[in-house]
Amino acid sequence: MSLITDHILTWVTFVPLLGSLALLTVVRKDSLARVFALAVALIDFVLSLHLWVHYDDKAGGFQFVEKVAWLWDGKINYHLGMDGISLVLVMLTTFLGPIIILSTWNAVQDRVREFLAFLLFLQTAMLGTFFARDMLLFYVFWEAMLIPMYFIIGIWGGQRRIYAAVKFFIFTMVGSVFMLVGILYLFFQAGSMDLADFMQVPLEHNAQLWLFAAFFLAFAIKVPVFPLHTWLPDAHVEAPTAGSVVLAGVLLKMGTYGMLRFAMPLFPDGVTFFAPTISILAVIGIIYGALVAMVQPDVKKLVAYSSVSHLGFVVLGLFSLTSLGIAGGIFTMLAHGLSTGALFLLVGVIYERRHTREISDFGGLAHQMPVFATFFMIATLASIGLPGMAGFIGEFMILFGTFSSTTLVSAKLMAILAATGVVLGAIYMLWMYQRVFLGKLNNEKNKGLPDLSVREVVVLLPIMVFIFWLGVRPGLILDRVETSIAQVLEPLNATLLHQENAPAHHTLIDMETGRPITSMRQESK
Amino acid sequence: MNDILIPQLGSQVGPLLPYLIVAGGGLLIMLVDAFVRTLKKDHLSYLAMFVLIGAVVVQIIGDQSDTQLLNGMMITSDFTRFFNFLFCGIGVMTIIFATGVYDREGDYRPEFYPLILFTILGMMVLAAANDLMTLFLGLETMSLATYILVGGVRGNIRSSEAGFKYLILGGFSSAFLLMGMALLYGFAGGTGFNAIATALDAGEIDVLLVGLGSALMLVGFGFKVAMVPFHMWTPDVYDGAPAYVTGFMATAIKAAGFAILVRFAILMQPQLAFAWFPVLSVFAVLTMFTGNLVALAQNNIKRMLAWSSIAHAGYLLLGVLAMISPATGGSDMMMRAKEIGISSGAAILFYLVGYSLMNLAAFGLVNILSHNKGEEGEDINRYAGLSRTRPMAAASMAVAMLSLAGIPPFVGFMGKFYLFEAVVRAGLIPLAILGVINSLISVYYYLRVIVVMYMKPAEEDSYHGTEWVSVVTSSVLILLVIYMGVQPQAFYQAAARVFLGITF
C-alpha cells in the first residue's frame, strides 16, 4: 500500500497512461476496451480520493511532494506537488473521467480502442499539468495535452473537423512557444526550473511586463479570453461529445489555472500593470459571449459561446485581485466544469438520437422525454447561476470581489457590466430551453424518441448531485482552497502593499485569519 | 618527413582502424560484386552492414585517447568517435531501407553498397580533419560518392537531373572552399589547424586573407549543410534522389557539415567571431524562414521534408551562433564563454542525433510508401487513410512529424529546448523568439501529413507498399525518439563530454 501512497501523485497521473498503452497493445476487443477504460478511469478516481481525504487544507502549501532529478543534475526535476487549487481541479478531472468514458459507450463506434486510448492519454497530460512544480515538466504536460485532443477532434469530429483540429492546435501552440522563451529566460536567471526558484528571481519592471505578456498570452488563448476565442466554437462544435466535455470541463481551466499558478505570482508588476486591460477584455468576453450565444441556431454552439462568457467571469474574478474574486473564480471553474460538462453531455444525448442540433428542429421535447427535460433544466439553471446551485456562488463572489476591487479602473462599472452578463445568460439559456422543450411537439421526427436510458442517467446523475451539493455547501471547495490562495498571492500582496502603501482593508487577505472573505466582511461593516 | 611518419604509423594503426575498415570494406565489396558470380542480392547489404558495425565495434573496444594522427593531419577524440558512430549508424539504417526496396524496378544497384561506405569514409575523415588538406580530401570523397548515389538510378530522368545539378553546384562550392583555403594558407603559412591557430594567436590578423578566406570557406560549408542562400540545390536533389539516399543526405551529410563547421568555428574563435557573427545570424534567420515558408506550400512529401531539413539547419545554425556569440562580457567572460560554448555545443550534437533519428524514420517510411515512379507517387495525398491500412507505419510517421515539429514528449522538443536554452543563455533572445516562431510555422505542414493519414478516408489510388523490415526499423527509431524525449539527460551529458573532446 505504501508503494502507492508514497508516490500517489505519480500513480494518479500515470495510471491512465498505462491504461492507454494497454488499450493500444493488449486489449483487442472493442466491448472489452470500453469496460477496461472505464475501470482504469474509476481506479484513477479512487486513487485521487486519497488526495481529497489526506490533503491538509489548514497547512496549505504543496503536499504529497515527489522530486526526482531529471535533467542537468537536478536543475530540472520531475517535481510533483499539490495544493488546494490543484486538488479541486484534479478532483474535477478524475471525476469527469469515468463519466466521459461511459458517455461514449454508443456514440463512438469507429476505432474505439484508439479513441479511449487518446482520452486516457489526455487525462494523464491534464493531471500532470496540475501537479507539475517544475516549469519544464509543466510545459511538457501542457503541450502533450494538444496531441490527444487534436486527434480526438480530427478523427472523430464533425464535418469541418480537420479545420477545427488544426486551428485548435496552432492557436494553442502560438501562445505556448512564447511562454517557452519566457521560461527559458527565467531558467537562465534562476539557474533552475523549479517554480519555487523562479519566485526568488528579482525581476525589473520591464522584464516583468514582457514575461507576463508571454505567459498571459499562452493562458489567455487556452481560456480563451476575448479576442483570442475564435478557435473555441469551432473546436467545440466539431468535437465529439466526449471531446467537448473534456474541453469545457477541464482544458479551458488550464488557462485560468496557469494564470493563477504562474503568471500572477511570478510577475506582480505585470499583473498590476495589465489587470485593468485584462478586466476590460474579460467584461467584453462576458457580454460578447452572451450576445453571440443568444443568436446561435445550434444548441452546441450556444453552449460553446456561453463558455466564453463564463470563463470571462473567471478571468475577471482572478484579476480583480481580491481574494474573494479569486476564490469565486476557482469556484466558477468547478461550477462551469460541471454545468457545461452536463450540457454538452445532454446535447450529445439528443444528437445521438436525432443527428441534428438545430434549435428549430425541436420543440415540445418535454412531452416526449420528461427525464431528459428535467436534467436539461437543472443544467440550464446551474449554468444561469440560480441560487442553490453551484453556478450562483462563484459568480456572486466574483461580482462582489470585482465591485470592491481597488486595483481595477472603475471597478464598480466593471461589476455592473459583468452583472448584465448574468441577465443575458438567463435570457439565452431559458429562451433556448423554451424553444427546444416547451410548446407543442410539432416535428414528426421527434415523436417516438426514447427517453434517457439507464446508462445515460448513470452518466448524468453524479454531475447533478454535485451541482446541488456545491450550491448549498460551497465550503466543500472554498475551505480547501483558501489557504492556498493566500499562499499563491503572497508575492502579489507584498507588491501591492509596497506600491500603494494601501490601508489595511485594501489588502487581499486578512493576515490574522488568512480567510479569503475578508473584503466582504469589511465592506459590510 | 618520411622517417617521422613511418615509425609513427605502427602505433597509429589502432586509432586509424575504423577508417581502414570502412575503406577496405568498400573496396572488398566492389571486388566481391565483380568476381563472385553466385551472389544473392542481400549478401552485399549484409557485408556492408557488417563492415560498418565492425568499424564501430573496433572503435568502441579500441583506444579512447585524444591523439593527433599522421603527423597532425587528423585527430581522434571523443568528438570524432561520436561522429563516426553517428555516420555508421545512419549508414546501417540507410542500407536497411535501401535493401527493402531494391527489388523495385531499376532500384537494384550493387554499386550502392561500396559507394555508401566511401561516403561514410569521407565524412569520418572530414569530422577528424586537422588540416585543410585532410578537410578537403574528406569533403570531396564524401561528395563524389554522393553525386553518384543521387544520380545513379538508371533510366530515371529526375535522378540524373538531380545528380547533375548536385555535381555542378557542388563543384562550384568546392572551388569557393579551395579559394578560401588558399587565402588562409597564405595567412598562416601552413595548412594545419595547429598552424592556423598559432598564427591567429600571434595577432596581426590580415583582414583580407583571414576574413575573405574564412568567408569563402563558410560558403563551402554552407553549401553542404544547405544554408540559405546556398541551398538552391537541396529541393531538386532531395526530390530526385531515391528516398533512402535523401534520408541519408538529410541526416549524415548535414551532420558531417555541422561537424566541420563547428570545429572550424571554434578554431577561428574568438578572433573571427565578431566578423562571422552578423553574417551568420542573417543567414540563420533566412535559412529558418525560407525552409519553413516554402515547406508550407509543398505537396510532394520529399520536397516538403527537403525544405524542412533546410529549416532544421537554420535551428542548428542558431546553436552555432550561440557558440561563437560575442555577447559575452564582464569579468567572468572566459568562464561564461566556456559555459555557453559547452552548452551550445552539446545542444548541437544532441539535436543532430535527435534530428537524424526522426528524419531517418520519416524518410524510411517515405521510401517504402511512395511509388518511385514519378512525382505523383510522392504526393502527400497518397497517404490518405494510411492509419487504417498500415497503422504501425502511420503511427511511426505521426510521431516523427510531431517530433520534427518540436512537440513534447519527443526528442524534437528536447533538442529544441536545449538549443534555444543555449541561445537564450548567450543572450540572443531575439534569435530565440525568431526560432520559436519558425517552429510554430513548421507545425502546420507537419500536421498536414497527420491530417491526411488519420483524418482523410483512403482513396482508390492510395498506394501503401508493404515491406515490414523498414517499418520495424522505423518503429525502433521512433521508440528511440520517444525515449530520448523523456530521458534525454544521459544523452545530453554524453554530448557535453563529447564536445569537450574537441582539441586542436
Distance between CA B370 and CA B463 in Å, rounded?
Answer: 7
Q: How confident is the model at residue B271 (pLDDT cuts 50, 70, 90)?
A: low
Task: Identify the H or E element spanning A190.
Answer: helix A161-190
Angle at B23 between CA B17 and CA B24, to 5 degrees: 85
Confirm or reject contact between B421 and chain A (CB < 8 A).
Answer: yes
Is residue B497 scored above 90 in pLDDT? Answer: no
Q: Per residue in B84-94, pLDDT tens?
A: 999 999 999 99
Q: How confident is the model at residue B330 (pLDDT cuts 50, 70, 90)?
A: very low
Compute the Cα dihedral for A76, A77, A81, A86 and give only its sign: positive
Query: Given A71, A147, A184, which is nearest B488 (Cβ)?
Result: A71
Angle at A38 between CA A35 and CA A42, to 5 degrees: 135
Structure confidence at residue B334 (pLDDT): 58
Cβ–Cβ of A169/B447 closer than 8 Å? yes
Q: Which amino acid is at B155?
A: G
Lowest mean pLDDT among B58-67, B250-259, B369-378, B384-393: B369-378
Structure confidence at residue A51 (pLDDT): 87
Structure confidence at residue B212 (pLDDT): 86
Residues of B in contact with A71 (CB under 8 A): 488-489, 492
DSSP B379: B
Residues of A in contact with B432 (CB under 8 A): 181, 184
The rounded percent of chain B whose pLDDT value lies above 90 is: 36
Mean pLDDT of B244-254: 91
Number of neighbours of residue A58 by Cβ within 10 angstroms: 8
Residues of A in contact with B424 (CB under 8 A): 181, 184-185, 187-188
Sequence-ordered list of residues with C-beta below 8 angstroms from that of B354, at least 6 positions apart, any chain: B403, B411, B412, B414, B415, B481, B484, B485
Cβ–Cβ of B451/A170 closer than 8 Å? no
**Contact (Cβ atoms closer than 8 angstroms) between residue B301 and residue B370:** yes
Q: Give the three-state DSSP class for B129.
A: strand
Intra-chain end-to-end CA distance of chain A, in Å: 51
For residue B491, the chain A residue with the least C-alpha distance is: A71
Query: Given B425, B429, B489, which is nearest A181 (Cβ)?
Result: B429
Residues of A in contact with B344 (CB under 8 A): none
Query: Given B409, B424, B439, which is nearest A140 (Cβ)?
Result: B409
Confirm or reject contact between A150 and chain B (CB < 8 A).
Answer: yes
Residues of B in contact with A139 (CB under 8 A): 408
Confirm or reject contact between A213 and chain B (CB < 8 A).
Answer: no
Structure confidence at residue B373 (pLDDT): 52
Cβ–Cβ of A188/B421 closer than 8 Å? yes
Confirm or reject contact between B175 and chain A (CB < 8 A).
Answer: no
Q: Give the three-state DSSP class for B426.
A: coil
Q: Which residue shows C-alpha cell 557539415?
A: B257
Confirm or reject contact between A144 and chain B (CB < 8 A).
Answer: yes
Find the DSSP H helices in A355-453. 365-368, 370-384, 390-403, 411-437
> DSSP assignment of A125-163, as one string?
HHHHHHHB-BHHHHHHHHHHTHHHHHHHHHHH--TTHHH
Residues of B in contact with A174 (CB under 8 A): 440
Confirm or reject contact between B446 and chain A (CB < 8 A).
Answer: no
Compute the Cα dihedral for B406, B408, B244, B113 and give only its sign: positive
> What is the nearest CA distance from B111 to chain A, expressed in angstroms?
41
Cβ–Cβ of B424/A178 closer than 8 Å? no
Intra-chain end-to-end CA distance of chain B, in Å: 21
Query: What cell numbers appear for A208 in the block?
Result: 516583468
**ipTM of this predicted complex?**
0.84
Confirm or reject contact between A21 and chain B (CB < 8 A).
Answer: no
Q: How confident is the model at residue B376 (pLDDT cuts 50, 70, 90)?
A: low
Confirm or reject contact between B409 and chain A (CB < 8 A).
Answer: yes
Q: Which residue shows C-alpha cell 525581476?
A: A203
Query: What cell numbers appear for B328 in the block?
Result: 559575452
Distance between CA A73 and CA A213 in Å, rounded?
Answer: 31
> What is the nearest CA distance from B436 to chain A, expressed in angstroms?
6
How far, rounded to the nearest angstrom, does the alpha carbon of residue B2 sit from its chain's CA centroid? Answer: 35
Instruction: Compute the mean pLDDT over every residue in chain B, rounded to the nearest whole number.
Output: 85
Structure confidence at residue B315 (pLDDT): 94
For residue A370, cis peptide bond before it (omega within 30 degrees of 0): no
Cβ–Cβ of A143/B408 closer than 8 Å? yes
Mean pLDDT of B240-256: 90
B357 or A358, which is more confident? B357
Distance between CA B37 and CA B103 in Å, rounded?
Answer: 19
> What is the nearest CA distance from A151 to chain B, expressed in angstroms?
8
Cβ–Cβ of A165/B417 closer than 8 Å? no
Structure confidence at residue B478 (pLDDT): 92
Distance between CA A191 and CA A201 in Å, rounded?
Answer: 10
Is residue B12 scored above 80 in pLDDT? Answer: no
Give pLDDT tens digits along chain A (525 positions).
677 778 888 888 999 999 999 888 888 888 888 899 999 999 999 999 988 888 888 887 888 888 888 887 778 888 898 888 899 999 999 999 999 998 888 888 888 888 999 999 999 999 999 999 999 999 999 999 989 999 999 888 888 888 998 899 888 888 888 898 899 889 888 888 888 888 888 888 888 899 999 999 999 998 888 888 888 888 888 888 888 999 988 999 999 999 998 888 888 888 888 988 999 999 999 999 999 999 998 899 999 999 999 999 999 999 988 888 889 999 999 999 999 999 999 999 888 888 888 888 888 888 888 888 999 999 999 998 888 888 888 888 998 888 888 877 788 888 888 889 889 999 999 999 988 888 888 777 777 788 888 888 888 999 999 988 988 888 888 888 888 888 888 877 777 666 554 444 444 544 444 444 434 434 433
Structure confidence at residue B326 (pLDDT): 66
Q: Is residue A514 left, alpha or beta, with left meaning phi > 0 and alpha meaning psi from -120 to 50? A: left
| Residue A280 Cα distances to A286, A313, A401, A409, B330, angstroms | 10, 11, 15, 9, 44
Query: Given B408, B451, B489, which is nearest A144 (Cβ)?
Result: B408
Please, which contacts does B264-267 make with residues 24 or more away whose CB atoms are closer than 8 Å? B264/B214, B264/B217, B264/B221, B265/B320, B265/B323, B265/B324, B266/B323, B266/B341, B266/B502, B266/B504, B267/B193, B267/B196, B267/B197, B267/B504
Q: Per residue in B217-233, pLDDT tens?
A: 888 999 988 888 888 88
Q: How confident is the model at residue B6 (pLDDT cuts 50, 70, 90)?
A: low
Cβ–Cβ of A139/B436 closer than 8 Å? no
The two beta strands, B67-69 and A76-82, are: unpaired
Cβ contacts from A onto B, under 8 A: 73
Distance between CA B203 and CA B216 in Å, rounded?
Answer: 21
Query: Given A151, A155, A170, which is nearest B443 (Cβ)?
Result: A170
Cβ–Cβ of A180/B436 closer than 8 Å? yes
Distance between CA A298 and CA A432 in Å, rounded?
Answer: 10
What pTM was computed for the model? 0.88
Lowest mean pLDDT among A498-512, B318-332, B485-499: A498-512
Print the SS3 string covering A308-327: HHHHHHHHHHHHCCCHHHHH
Cβ–Cβ of A166/B417 closer than 8 Å? no
> What is the nearest CA distance from A143 to chain B, expressed in angstroms?
6
Dihedral angle, C-alpha B140, B141, B144, B150, nearest 10 °: -120
B490 or A447, which is more confident? B490
Cβ–Cβ of A165/B432 closer than 8 Å? no
Distance between CA A45 and CA B175 in Å, rounded?
Answer: 68
| The total number of residues written for chain A in this structure | 525
Structure confidence at residue B377 (pLDDT): 65
Cβ–Cβ of A71/B492 closer than 8 Å? yes
Q: Which amino acid is at A66?
A: E
**Contact (Cβ atoms closer than 8 angstroms) between residue A345 and residue A462:** no
For residue B455, the chain A residue with the least C-alpha distance is: A155
**Contact (Cβ atoms closer than 8 angstroms) between residue B444 and residue A177:** no
For A185, list phi and psi in degrees, rounded to 5.
-60, -45
Rg (CA), chain A: 22
Distance between CA B352 and CA B310 in Å, rounded?
Answer: 13
Cβ–Cβ of A147/B420 closer than 8 Å? no
Residues of B in contact with A221 (CB under 8 A): none
Structure confidence at residue A1 (pLDDT): 66
**Contact (Cβ atoms closer than 8 angstroms) between residue B246 and residue B359:** no
Is residue B205 scored above 80 in pLDDT? Answer: no
